[in-house]
Amino acid sequence: MEKEGEQLIFNSSNYFLEWTPEKHIKILPENIKIYFKQEADYLYNDLKNHKLHKVHIPAYPSNFPGHMIRSYLDQNPEWYCKLYRLYTYNDKTWRSSLRSYIRRDRSLRGLNNIRNEKDKEFKEGPFGSVPCLGKTATIYRELIYDRLTEGQDDKGFFVPPKNEVRKFFGLEVTIEDVPF
């Protein structure tokens, strides 16, 4: 991609080398951008509709009167749990020493921004500053890129990678597209 004045010119031979998850999806061509938006929409709805919901039910056998155990009516999506654990860090300033940068509100906002093409480019702040601008969107763009180029296990089924996206980013196309 070369700049000519204010207009961006698309050069397909080296374009895939210039885009990284730190950049917003606005600069991707429409045929690739639509895959990112569809995947962000799917992840957004999956996260919005599946929230950890715990209830207490009577224990059987009961060890004492009023003995209850925890049960789950609904759980977070598996991809969200993995991402949460991946971005866990040790924070000695809080009572709970393990914290995660991934939070539901940030995740929903980041995915919503990606699907509406309002995602921000990642900008590193000064050392020791608060979290950087566009970090959540960057994390989710990277997740979406991996899901589109490597495929994913989704609710017990393997979803193959998108060949059009793999071709665009210069990756070898090895798996045939499976029509659904």
Helix (H) or strand (E) holding 34: helix 30-49
Number of residues that make up the chain: 180
- In this predicted structure, the answer to whether residue 1 has a pLDDT above a threshold of 50 is no
Whether the predicted pLDDT of 124 surpasses 80: no
Q: What backbone torsions phi and psi does residue 123 show, to the nearest 5 degrees?
A: -130, 120
Q: What is the pLDDT of residues 75-119, one digit of tens each?
A: 999 999 999 888 887 766 656 667 777 889 999 999 999 999 888
Confidence of residue 53 (pLDDT cuts 50, 70, 90): confident
Domains of the chain by residue range: 20-168
Token readout for 102 is 């991934």
> For all residues of the chain together, what is the average pLDDT?
80
Phi then psi for 82, rounded to 5 degrees? Answer: -65, -45
Q: Is the dihedral of CA 30, 144, 1, 6 positive or negative?
A: positive
pLDDT at position 89? 75
